[in-house]
Amino acid sequence: MVIRFWRMTVLMLLLITTACSSYVTEMTPISPGTEVVEQAHPDTETKNELIVWTFYDTTESDRQFMILHPQIKVKTVRLKYEEIANAFIKAYGTRESPDVVFLDSSMTGQLNGLDILSNLRGQGNQVNQIAKKIPVNMLPQYSDVKLNKLIAMPIALPTAFTYYRADLLEENGFPADPDKLTEYLSTPQNWVDMAIKLKTKGIYLFQHYTDPIDVAAMSSSILNRKLEFAWDSQVFQDAIYVAREIRRNGLALRSTIWDPSGEQALRDGQLAMLYGGPWITDSLKSWAPDQAGSWRVSQLPLHLYGYRDGAMIGIAKDSQHKSEAGKYVQNVVSLTKSVDVSGQDSYLGGQDTLNMARSNAQYNKGIYPTPLDAELKALWDKNIQGIIESDQPIANQLALLKEQMEQVTKEERAIIKEAIQLKD
Amino acid sequence: MLGSKLRLQARLPLAILLLLFSLLGDFLSLPMLYGMRFHFSTLFLILAFILIGSPAAIIMALITACSNYVWLQMSVWDSVIVFAEILFLALACRIRKGSVFLYDLLFWFLTSAILLISTLYVDLFPSHTQLLLLLAKSSVNGSSNALMAEVLTTYLPFIRRLKIKNMSKKIPLQRILVHLSISGLIIPFVCFMIMTGISQNHVINLRALQLTQSAASSIQEQVSSWSGGNYRALELRDVIQLGELQRIVNNAASGGTQIVISNAAGDVLASSQHTDSTSSAGSQPEGRLYQYNSNLYLTLPEGRHFTELSVWSGGVYWYSISLHASVDYNINITVPASHFLNEVYGVYAIEFGLVIAFILLVLIVVYVLSKLIVQILIKLTQETTGLPDKIAAAFEMSRTESHIVEFDKLNLNFQHMALRLKEMFTEATRMNRVLTEQAKQIRQSEQEFQQLAFTDALTKIPNRLYFHKHLKQLIEERSSAVTVMFMDLNKFKNINDTYGHEIGDRLLQHVAGLLTTAAGTGNVCRLGGDEFVVVLPTADRVPVIQIAEKILELFQLPLHIEGEGLTLQPRTSIGVACYPGDTGNPDELLKLADQAMYLAKQSDSQVVWYSKEQGDV
């Protein structure tokens, strides 16, 4: 009886321990799940059609491309300049998204914080060779904000110049030679004096009194690489001084070349100076073909080097035809072509703007577009009017504005700084 | 070796049963804290060691170790240590017989020392806390199993009967004390640790859930205020929106949590860990997966580790939940299990360390206590050895204090008992002396009584009663032949009548003296009146005749009675009868001798030998 009791006890203990041992973590062991395999896009895979979005007429280049690559069908969609960037952002990730998109370098800040454009450095050797032609100082304008990827490629180098009527300046006793004019306009006061004197002859150097500030803006982005407000420099103080003088003395035409009245003034010889990229040459040729040989190109006033907006081209990251898109980009971009073709232009008195653009590029300071540019530019535009109209010291005004702008964008700048540091 | 083989054959079913239990290994274990289990494998192996013998136990341990490693995929430590423990016990017990429990404690002490020293040179463990916990837990586990095995085989009747090496059925007091005290310490402790371990597991799971859920809720709450544009910007990997998400993630990440926001494809949008990796950071951690609820999982690393604790140190809690209903992004929060376990491991290491310290303390106390008890018992034994002599020698009891109430009481009782015994012994001695004296007196009285009963009062020689008793004694015990010489005094009646009884009495005394002198070794008895017999233990005629002649010669001497001036000349006739020559009946012997004497008187012969014809001399 006793033995039976003990045997039963031992057996029970064994059963209890065995039962308890199955209790481990009050958790249920589960087998590894099957990975979700992403579905490919069969529709886009099957289509061999390159969709190109552009804001200007690319018919000629498309035609040339299709001659070179008859197997690739190009479908071009024309959008407005001011809409194309937003449209691309909206369409990205959908079936409407293009393979190739023409953009403007002024839109870089809007796009370089997003991960929607392919890195063109990975689009084959040919494209890489073209990319190497971009001056180093210009690369930030075509790169993502971390400067990791080349997200777009300029159609042509958009080096900014001073376009001027050499004949009018010479008639009024000012230097007509580009180098001498550059030297003369290196001081703000000379720039103002020239404008005052020419105004007496009904000739204007400025379309609007903010033109000097626009010229200064060609040489520097709002934020430098350290993401500090950069438009409080001496250059901007000089430019604002000039702007104040223009406003005070009424030295601006008050009409732009994009208006019919401004265009007419150009033809009438009332506008003797323009500031912008090389695309102005073609515009001048169309607006005032009879002024061929009268226009010259020199460095920007105040001894500045800079860029003006210019068309650029990129490939959508979600494009299913990246290889074809790369070929298209290669065909459109003229960086390599410019080396072999003479850039001498009789309209500009035989000046070679292509070579000038290339040689001037090395002196440019870096321009670093950021996603904050639009917001800061809006704030700048809102405040600069008051600064120009004010009699307060420009430096103080800009210091206050710098403080305000940096405060407003404090968090975002911190985020971007963090992103840049990650890259470093 | 042959004996072991025979034992194994005899206990084969038992060996198979114990091997099966030990092979179950991990199944027969109780869960404690994560990474720790209370194993019973060695209990069955030590039982086998005690019940069957060391060779069988070593083989079983080897099989169990291989099974643990290959089949159960247990850690290297848990596999190897089983074999090492049994091997050590076998070797230790071979060198010197002793308690399995104490040898097991010694094994763990040596193992701990070796491992602690080796960690100075080899980095086996992620932290010293884990090492100490492992050693402490393994020591308690192993020694508990050894203690259980020893207790079972010592006290359980049916297991005790299985013991082949039943060297002694008697259990030393020290061992009983050790079993009692250590069992009382270990068993509640192990039960407590198992219960708290299960409770701690639950608490740790809850803490992991709270920590991860709180972080996830914080992120969800912050992104819930985002507009559609913000989510679109996130889809487009807007650097500011990603930065904002990163800031939210960084703020939410705390306390060892790692947060990753990723999509189903594993692309990482934000991570609290600064890495550009987009591969596995967003997906589930690799390893064995356990589900706590629909969001919280626990993963343990695959592969074999040195210890079970190492596996759990690499464990990761993984919480996954959708960032927002409008986007296909998940919040993945991981927390290393070590974040919760390290703190608890530290507490457990202290608790296990304390219980080991207490075990050692109890062993020392038990050793001292048992020594004390044994000393007291030895002293009591010494004092009780030869107690009667000591009491007789008027010894004094020592009055030492043991500081133990029961022992002091026992000692006092014993003292009282000894004193009482001493008094009783003294009284007994006195009584004995009195009784001895009385017995002596009785013996003396008895001798006197006997002398009175068997001695003739007048002549001081044996009387008729003695004659009969002596004759019977001779015939029954010693002699094969007896001769009785019967005689009386001739004309004695005339002497009495003539000179008076006083003179007659003096003649009788004289004759008794003569007969006694003549009889030599023979016994002379007075039957009554003037009748005397001489009893000789022989039937040989020569000595009989010699004695008869001597008697007759001595009878020639007259008796001079001084003061009376009287001289008396005693005359006698002797009748002789022999046993068994003349009769086989002893009672008839005296009668035949009397008849012979009568014939002698008639024939005026001095000596007549009885014959059937009557008349031969």
> Which has more confidence, B161 or A151?
A151
Q: Is A415 within 8 Å of B244 when comparing Cβ atoms? A: yes
Q: Which of B548, B235, B94, B197 is nearest to A116 (CA)?
A: B235
Nearest CB partner across the interface for A113, out of B157, B158, B240: B240
Thinking of the domain A161-304+373-408, which architecture would CATH place it in? 3-Layer(aba) Sandwich (3.40)
Does residue B243 sit at the A interface (CB-CB below 8 Å)? yes
Does pLDDT of B227 surpass 50?
yes
| CB within 8 Å of chain A, chain B residues 78-97 | none
φ, ψ for residue B260, nearest 5 deg: -135, 130
Q: What is the mean pLDDT of chain A?
A: 85
Beta bridge partners of B410: none
Residue type, A313: I
Residue pair B319/B307 in contact (Cβ under 8 Å)? The answer is: no
- Quick check: A371 and B238 CB within 8 A? yes
Architecture of domain B464-609: 2-Layer Sandwich (3.30)
What secondary structure letter does DSSP report for B475?
I
Express each pLDDT in B135-160 by its tens digit: 888 888 898 899 988 888 888 766 66
A40 touches chain B (CB under 8 A): no
pLDDT at B533: 93
Candidates B236, B268, B330, partner chain A, best to mutate (most A CBs within 10 A): B236
Indicate yes or no: CB of B156 within 8 angstroms of CB of A114: no
In whole angstroms, what is the distance from residue A180 CA to residue A174 CA? 9
The winner for highest mean pLDDT among A18-22, A176-180, B268-272, B494-498 is A176-180
Task: Please state the domain extents for chain A.
Answer: 45-158+310-343, 161-304+373-408
Distance CA B473, CA B471 (A): 5
Percentage of chain B lying above the pLDDT 70 cut: 90
Flag if A114 and B276 touch (Cβ within 8 Å).
no
pLDDT at B417: 81
Q: For domain A45-158+310-343, give its CATH number from 3.50.50.60, 3.40.50.720, 3.40.50.970, 3.40.190.10.
A: 3.40.190.10
Chain A environment of B291 (Cβ under 8 Å): 27-30
Is the pLDDT at B277 greater than 50? The verdict is no
CA geometry: angle at A219 spanning A213 and A222, to 5°?
70
Cβ contact A26–B292 (<8 Å): yes
- Check pLDDT > 50 for residue B297: yes
201-230 in B: which are within 8 Å (CB) of A? 201-202, 205
**pLDDT for res B615:** 44
Beta-ladder partners of B327: B324
* Alpha-carbon span A58 to A75, nearest angstrom: 11
Selecting from B158, B239, B246 the residue whose C-beta is nearest the C-beta of A3 gives: B158
Which among B526, B523, B525, B532 has a CA at the least distance from the CA of B488?
B532
Helices B2-10 and B54-66: crossing angle, nearest 10°? 70
Dist CA A283 CA A353 (whole Å) = 14
Residues of chain A with pLDDT under 50: 24, 34-46, 338-340, 422-424
Three-state secondary-structure class, residue B604? coil
Q: Is B308 on the interface with A (CB under 8 A)?
A: no
Residue of chain B nearest A417, judged by CA positions: B243
The two tokens of residue A230 are: 């950069």
B276 touches chain A (CB under 8 A): yes
As a whole number of angstroms, the distance between CA B307 and CA B28 comes to 18
Residue B195 has pLDDT above 50, yes or no: yes
User: A381 is written with which tokens?
Assistant: 């535009």
Q: For residue B524, name the pLDDT band (cuts at 50, 70, 90).
A: very high
What local confidence, expressed as pLDDT, does residue A116 receive? Answer: 92
Tell me how close the Cα of A171 comes to any Cα of chain B, in angstroms.
Answer: 53
Torsion of CA A233, A238, A239, A245, to 10 degrees: 150
In angstroms, the separation between the Cα of residue A115 and the nearest Cα of chain B is 5
Tokens of residue A123, six digits: 């689009």
Chain-centroid distance, C-alpha B599: 88
Domain B2-171 top-level CATH class: mainly alpha
Task: Report d(CA A309, CA A56) in Å as an integer.
Answer: 14
Contacts of B284 (CB under 8 A, 6+ apart): A33, B297, B299, B318, B320, B332
Test B298 with A25 for CB contact under 8 angstroms: yes
Which of B30, B201, B244 has the CB atom closest to A25's CB atom? B201
| Best B78, B144, B239, B283 residue to mutate vs chain A (most A CBs within 10 Å) | B239
User: Can you tell me the distance from the alpha carbon of B302 to that of B289, in angstroms, rounded to the nearest whole number?
Assistant: 10
B39 touches chain A (CB under 8 A): no
pLDDT exceeds 60 at position B587: yes
**C-alpha separations of A91 from A97, A128, B327 in Å:** 5, 27, 17
Could you give the ipTM of this predicted complex?
A: 0.83
Which one of 1.10.3470, 3.30.160, 3.30.450, 1.10.1060 gives the CATH number of domain B202-344? 3.30.450
CB within 8 Å: A2 and B292? no
Domains of chain B, residue spans: 2-171, 202-344, 386-454, 464-609
What's the number of CA atoms in the CB half-sphere (13 Å) around residue B550?
17
Whole-number pLDDT of residue B161: 62
Question: Residue A17 is encoded by which pair of tokens?
Answer: 């321990």
DSSP designation for A159: B
Contacts of A416 in chain B (CB under 8 A): 239-240, 243
Give the pLDDT mean for B113-131.
80
Over range B352-369, report the average pLDDT.
Answer: 84
- What is residue A323's predicted lDDT score, i.e. its pLDDT? 87
Dihedral of CA A64/A66/A67/A68: which sign? positive
Average pLDDT value for residue range B358-373: 83
Same fold, A45-158+310-343 and A161-304+373-408: yes
User: Do residues B83 and B102 lie in contact, with contact meaning Cβ atoms separated by under 8 Å?
Assistant: no
> What is the CA angle B362-B367-B370, rounded to 5?
115
